[in-house]
Every structure is written in C-alpha cells, then in structure tokens.
Amino acid sequence: MCDLPATGEITDASEASHYLAVRLTLDFAAIRDLLQQIPATDFSGTSHGIAVHKVEDALADAWLRMVRLLAKPDELRVMAPLVEREILFRLLQGPQGGLLREAAAVNGHFTNIRKVLLWLRTHYATACCMEELAAIAGMSLSAFHRGFRASTGLSPLQYQKQLRLYAARKTLARYPGNVAAVAADVGYQSLTQFTREYTRLFGLPPARSLRLFRQNGTDSRR
C-alpha cells in the first residue's frame, strides 16, 4: 500500500498462456467516500504496508471488465469510473480492506509515513537523520519508528538503502556504465559497501550485472 521498492518474477507465461498485469493508482478521495457507506466492522486485514492475497472471483471479474473497456473507447469514459469504484469496493471488502482503510485515513499513520516515503524517493541519495524524517511525518521519534516499520516492514535506513540499490540497478540496466560512478550517484561513498549490499539484495555483484545487461539488455539472476 505504501511506496515500497520491490521486485517480482513471472514464473508461468507462454505464447499460449499470456501473463497480464494491471495496476491501479488509488483514489483516496473515492475510498473515503465509500467508507461513509461501509460499516467499520466490515474491515479486516494486515497492518503491513504490502501484502499479497489470492484475487477473489468478484474482484477478478471487475478487473476483466475494466480491461475489456480498453477495446471500447466510446464506453471507457463513462464506464471506467464506475468499474474503478467497484474495484475499490471489492478491495475494501477483501482481506486487505483494513489496510486500505488505514491508508485512506486523513490523519492515520500511513498518511504521515507516506510523506516521508515521498521525500525519500526524491532524496534517497542524500544523507538524512531520523529526527528530520520524524519532523516531516509530524510524529515523535519513537512513534515514527514504530509507524514506519508497521507501514513498510523496514526501518527508515533499510528503506533508503533499498531505494538506492534499486535506482542503481535501474541505471545499470538502462545506461550501462562505470559501477563506481553509479554507486556515487545513488549516495554510496564506499564502492566496497555498495558492492556488498547490491550482491546481498540481487544475488550477484554489480559488475556482473553490468556485463549481463550489456550482453542481453535484460536483468538476469544467473
């Protein structure tokens, strides 16, 4: 639910059985409007910032209807907002409904933590102190630490580290170049530390990633 650096892998796709991915940018105003019509006792779910669950049939059906609208531009403008509202309703009724409600709360800790996440996404290469981040969130230092870990599953420093490493990996994949320069660009002063942490997260050192990107133009975990 929060802006978390993440990676995934498609394990089952072929010419005969295609893989389809869809993404929804959450409209928190629409969610808050729906919350006025749904009893609070109907909500359940995890308190973490990200979770994975099997899609229920009713939600999958709504998504399928949304995708099919792409082939009907004359209907898309009118019907898409209605189907999107249904998708939000199904999400609120599903296993992550409680998480979605927390994220939409104007004064909830997810909202406060999100301010910090947005700041870190822009300033991930900049050294920062916890007091500064807590001030951005408008929270005490202890409450900020608890809220950040509850929202993301990571400490603020771990989150910033992952942002740096994912940014470095993206740069190496798109614009293969000097590893040391890439490390410096994302905020690392030590190439040794960068190499160690990159290898720990992605399973291979950045120099090898660079060679693979140059050879294949794609990521590999070989």
> What's the confidence (pLDDT) of residue 222?
39
203 and 169 within one domain:
yes
Q: Is residue 9 part of a domain?
A: no
191 and 134 within one domain:
no
Q: Is residue 21 part of a domain?
A: no
> What's the confidence (pLDDT) of residue 37?
85
55 and 83 within one domain:
yes
Give the tens place of pLDDT for each residue, 177-207.
789 999 999 999 999 999 999 999 998 899 8
47 and 71 within one domain:
yes
Q: How many Å is the Cα radius of gyration of the chain?
A: 20
> What's the confidence (pLDDT) of residue 210?
79
**Parent domain of 97:** 28-104
Instruction: Please tell me the total count of domains within the chain.
Output: 3
Which of 45-49, 60-64, 89-93, 165-169 is predicted with the least confidence, judged by mean pLDDT? Answer: 45-49
78 and 34 within one domain:
yes
> What's the confidence (pLDDT) of residue 155?
92
Residue 3 banded pLDDT, cuts 50, 70, 90: low
Query: How many CB atoms sit inside 10 A of residue 77's CB?
Result: 9
Q: Is residue 196 part of a domain?
A: yes
